[in-house]
Amino acid sequence: MDQISESKIIGVATRRVDGPLKVSGAAMYASDHHFPGLLYAWPVCATIAKGSIANLDSAQAEKMTGVVAVYHRANIGKLYRVPPAAGMSLILDEKRPPFEDDEIRYYGQYVAVVVANTVEQARAAAESVKVTYNRDKPDANSKLLGSPLTTDKPEEKSKRGDTATALKSAKVKVDEVYTTPVETHNPIELHASVAVYDGQKFTLYETSQAVVNHRDVLAQMLGVPPEQVQVITRFLGSGFGGKLWPWPQSALAAACARNLNRPVKLVVSRQMMFQNVGHRPAIEQRIQLAAEPDGKLTAVQQDYVNHTSMLDDYDEGCGEITPFIYSTQNLLVTGGLARRNVGNPTAMRGPGAVPGLFALESAMDELAVSLKMDPVQFRLKNEPEMDESLNIPFSSRHMKECLTVGAEKFGWSNRTPQIGSMKKDGVTLGWGVAACSWLAARSETQASVELRQDGSARVACGTQDIGGGTYTVLAQIVSHETGIPVSKIDVVLGDSALPSGPISGGSWVTASVTPAVLEAAQKASQALLLVAVKSDGSSFKGKKPEDLELADGMVRQKGQAQGAVPMAEVLQIAKVNSVSGQGKSEGTLEDSKPKYSFHSYGAQFVEIGWQPEIARLRINRVVTVIDAGRIMNPRPARNQIEGAVVMGIGMALFEETMYDSRSGAPINNNLADYVMAVNADTPQIEVTFLDYPDYNLNALGVRGVGEIGLAGVAAAITSAVYHATGIRVRDLPVRIEDLLPMPKVNIA
């Protein structure tokens, strides 16, 4: 692959091109869209978690002021299932359309939807729809091990050597169970769908991390060709994975718009967000590690179970990182599912790796304690030479440097390993460390670039910016290739009618769009050079296009600044409005025999402060070192890591969705009772990027930074808590009562 090492713009801290639109309120989010005659929809949610609808009476609701219609199974019209997903297409979260039958499988499941002139009228009428149920006892229990599994025998995910024998004969061992609770995505922007139907075509304004997939799924569900559906997400108030795939409210809004021939807006409430649009599942993981007394790992076994819903087989994939992060001859990862009466789980920032690394990295810390080894040294000792699970080389791996640079910046050499031995200003300090990793990948992408006679450029791709900086990064790539300043480059995203682009997931947008946008920009440049040599009046007329180049926004003889003509002038002289180029790139995800193991790496160092007198636990500081290939733009990249670290603090200390075991209802279903890390919980976070380009992935050597910053944080925190208190918390989140020297009171 060609390598691009020099650039005036790649790697330069560039302001977000969409920043002014956001801070001035001009950026249009899904629910900002209003149309003449717009109606509001409000779903009726089941108040049981298991059973069936006995009777649904909408008579009273239909008579209420402003109500236009009440839809339910009998009158919503035809909605279709989607065929099984193949690769990155046709993925949706709930595998069947809303209202398909009368069975209730989770609390909050939509059973009807009211459409009215105002949102207040719709909501009031929704509360007046009378639904009676045949009630069964639900199972929303989040304790998983020892409970009935979906798979009789957990599936083998990765295996090498003879783990059982190695564990049996091990000199030093860890065998512990780690649990992580249900976590709910809580982006500030609520899920929303605004559906416009013109009698033939649907225009859907959605909160989507994947507009092209959303279009294809909705076309299937509505039973129309994809050309008759256009999905638009210009801006997203974040998603964290919860907005990757369509949820039932989108099909409901579209069906209502079709039935009524009027635009319909449906905004999912914060309470519904805890029921209807996904969560990270409850997970239990047993980790067994074995080592020689000198610290060499001899066996790693991870057995995880995650819950899933009645409608899906969602696998959290907790063993994604385990097979290649450390060197060991013997390894086994298994995964099983336990069905529950809950809404569908879905990907949440760093799915699999984040909870998986909480368990694995906690166990690594426990083993280091047993070995009386420094946890950084212990990890360095077990650094693999290659990906031992696939027997292929790492594309670019600098894990050791993440650990050593992080240790240096943190001041790790001053650590005294004895429990509670470090104090500052009367506060006990705890220092913890964890390693982390996340996949790097490309998915199939198309893009187009247009160079225009006013000196500006336009780049278009059917991907979307979910807040990570994709608008800015695309402008940087075009600027790199053409020399046109970022301020003169329009980036058009978030529309399924554009050339098909990647999902904003897996942290792979930047790696995916880079080759396609570079190719499109190169082709547009070639088209421009052709104009320059063919047009009357052009100073380049008759020259060979291959002797010319577009550089700094000017057409010139290769390498010669003299005689350069601005791109705008070349096009104006030729009386041509614009030239364009298309680019595309293949994905790496479908490659069944990859040549390289593509991943990003990092190390998390955490200091906590513990005051047992007042049971006060604080995160004092975090040092994060990330090896994520070349960094396109250090500003948004740092934002991504900082935000992810804050989310890791929430995971370690606060976040947990609780279900009432009788009703199956999520009970802390609001931002007051579902506690997340906020500014006051956020310490000083020092982010360092190693910035080694990964040229095996793309010409610029960029990978992605969306998720890795969250991986490892929780394990580093609980290891720091152990260092300060001597208490090992294996069940997240860490509760103050876990740390108090009192007998636990069992309130059964």
Which residues are at the interface with ligand MOS (CB under 6 A)? 209, 241, 244, 347-349, 351, 505-506
In 10 A of CB 708, how many CB atoms?
A: 31
Instruction: Provide, rounded to whole angstroms, the least separation between the CB of residue 662 and ligand MOS.
Output: 31
Distances 228 to 37, 201, 223 between C-alpha atoms, Å: 21, 4, 10
Q: Of these residues, 189, 316, 366, 707, which one is catalytic?
A: 707
Asked if 266 contacts 113 with a C-beta cutoff of 8 angstroms, the reply is: yes
Instruction: Provide, rounded to whole angstroms, the least separation between the CB of residue 350 and ligand MOS.
Output: 7
Instruction: Provide, rounded to whole angstroms, the least separation between the CB of residue 506 and ligand MOS.
Output: 5
Tokens of 524: 């547009």
The residues that bridge with 297 in the sheet, in sequence order, are: 291
Instruction: Provide, rounded to whole angstroms, the least separation between the CB of residue 240 and ligand MOS.
Output: 6
The nearer residue to ligand MOS, 349 or 480, going by C-beta atoms, is 349
Is 569 catalytic? The answer is no
Asked if 306 contacts 147 with a C-beta cutoff of 8 angstroms, the reply is: no
In 10 A of CB 254, how many CB atoms?
A: 28
The nearer residue to ligand MOS, 283 or 665, going by C-beta atoms, is 283
Instruction: Provide, rounded to whole angstroms, the least separation between the CB of residue 501 and ligand MOS.
Output: 15
Residue type, 634: P
Tokens of 130: 């009378």
The nearer residue to ligand MOS, 91 or 484, going by C-beta atoms, is 91
Tokens of 415: 């650590």
Starting at the edge strand found earlier in the chain, the sheet holding 130-135 runs: 103-104, 51-57, 130-135
Query: How far apart are the C-alpha atoms of 692 and 625, rounded to whole Å?
Result: 12
The nearer residue to ligand MOS, 94 or 320, going by C-beta atoms, is 320
Tokens of 344: 């569908």
What's 131's DSSP letter? E
The nearer residue to ligand MOS, 111 or 348, going by C-beta atoms, is 348
Instruction: Provide, rounded to whole angstroms, the least separation between the CB of residue 280 and ligand MOS.
Output: 9
The nearer residue to ligand MOS, 347 or 531, going by C-beta atoms, is 347
Instruction: Provide, rounded to whole angstroms, the least separation between the CB of residue 366 and ligand MOS.
Output: 28
The residues that bridge with 232 in the sheet, in sequence order, are: 205, 495
Query: How far apart are the C-alpha atoms of 184 and 656, rounded to whole Å?
Result: 8
Distances 176 to 289, 302, 728, 730 between C-alpha atoms, Å: 9, 10, 11, 8
Instruction: Provide, rounded to whole angstroms, the least separation between the CB of residue 425 and ligand MOS.
Output: 39
Asked if 187 contacts 240 with a C-beta cutoff of 8 angstroms, the reply is: yes
The nearer residue to ligand MOS, 348 or 637, going by C-beta atoms, is 348
Distance of CA 109 to the CA centre of its chain: 24
Site of tokens 């990906």:
387
DSSP assignments along 549-601, one per residue: EEETTEEEETT--TT-EEHHHHHHHTT--EEEEEEEE--STT-SS-SSB-EEE
Site of tokens 């009466």:
341
Site of tokens 């979260």:
93
Phi, psi of 609 (to 5 degrees): -115, 135
Query: How far apart are the C-alpha atoms of 327 and 694, rounded to whole Å?
Result: 22
Q: What share of the chain is helix, strand, coil (3-state, %, to 5)?
A: 25, 25, 45
Instruction: Provide, rounded to whole angstroms, the least separation between the CB of residue 213 and ligand MOS.
Output: 12
Starting at the edge strand found earlier in the chain, the sheet holding 616-627 runs: 422-424, 427-439, 599-611, 616-627, 684-689
The nearer residue to ligand MOS, 234 or 349, going by C-beta atoms, is 349
Query: How far apart are the C-alpha atoms of 58 and 113, rounded to whole Å?
Result: 10
Instruction: Provide, rounded to whole angstroms, the least separation between the CB of residue 680 and ligand MOS.
Output: 26
Asked if 195 contacts 202 with a C-beta cutoff of 8 angstroms, the reply is: yes
The nearer residue to ligand MOS, 346 or 382, going by C-beta atoms, is 346
What is the number of helices (H) and of strands (E) in the chain? Answer: 17, 27
The residues that bridge with 674 in the sheet, in sequence order, are: none
The nearer residue to ligand MOS, 98 or 506, going by C-beta atoms, is 506
Instruction: Provide, rounded to whole angstroms, the least separation between the CB of residue 154 and ligand MOS.
Output: 23
The nearer residue to ligand MOS, 351 or 545, going by C-beta atoms, is 351
Name the 3-class secondary structure at 724.
helix
Residues with catalytic annotation?
707
